[in-house]
Amino acid sequence: MTGPDTGVIDRLDRAAPSRRKNRVLVVDEEEALTDLLTLALTFEGWHVETLATGVDAVRVAHRFAPDAILLDMTLPDISGVAVVSQLRDSGIDAPVIFLTGRSTLDDRLAAFAAGGDDYMTKPFGLEEVTARLRSVFRRAGLADTSLLFADLVLDTGTGQAWRNGDPLILSRLETALLRILIERRGDPVDGTGVIRSLGLAGHTVTETAAARAAHRLSEIVDHDAEPLVRSSNGSLWVEAPVAHE
């Protein structure tokens, strides 16, 4: 759900009718494995499609629009590395987790060089696969606990935050302040309001500590990027950058 001109996408409401299931494309020729993965991932509430060949993976990915791809490195037609290269060349940037029985350093380097995001060696536990995918979805803002603003993602369950996919190292106080600013959807909050809101979030702070947290938050979020955290006349808010044509 996106507020008008706010840049905010709120995914906290599990019952929101517009929230589609996260999509996982599984590409592996081992039918027994894909059946198990389908069962486990469907149980998580995700939409799963399975394929056995790399050529089909490249073709179907455009239609299926996956949020993540589980990909065997050794396929019957083309290699998993070639699949990722073709996907990236065609504009599909969904995170790819390689599933493979090969574990040499050269294999891992080739996987990451091609644009893979993670690497799991067979045999592996289904719980580990789902955990890796949950991490991918949190980083992409696709978890039920995700709160988004422009290219900023805050996971309210773990307290983790990312900007444009890069992790932000925030203190608990800075994380609480960031959540307050995003949830206000760009409305400025003055110093007194910051202290009151932090108090409601379980943080008792002085005016000096709140100001220090606000300054530090701005430095971290806006480092080497378009400014999102704004301040003026003692008030603080987040504002989406203006798109340049």
pLDDT tens readout for residues 78-94? 999 999 999 999 999 99
The domain spans of the chain are: 23-140, 146-238
Is the Cβ–Cβ distance between 218 and 231 less than 8 Å? yes
Q: In 24-160, where does DSSP find H-type helix?
A: 31-43, 54-64, 80-89, 105-113, 126-140
First vs last C-alpha separation in the chain: 25
pLDDT in the model for residue 19: 66
Checking 229-232 for CB contacts under 8 A at 24+ apart, the result is 229/181, 232/188
pLDDT in the model for residue 1: 40
Residues of the chain with pLDDT under 70: 1-19, 242-245
Element (H, E) at 166: strand 166-168
**Top-level class of domain 23-140:** alpha beta
Half-sphere exposure of 177 (CA within 13 A, CB side): 32
Q: Rounded to two decimals, what is the model's pTM?
A: 0.82
Q: Which fold has domain 146-238?
A: Arc Repressor Mutant, subunit A (1.10.10)
- Joined together, the tokens standing for residue 186 give 């760009």
pLDDT in the model for residue 237: 92
pLDDT in the model for residue 84: 93
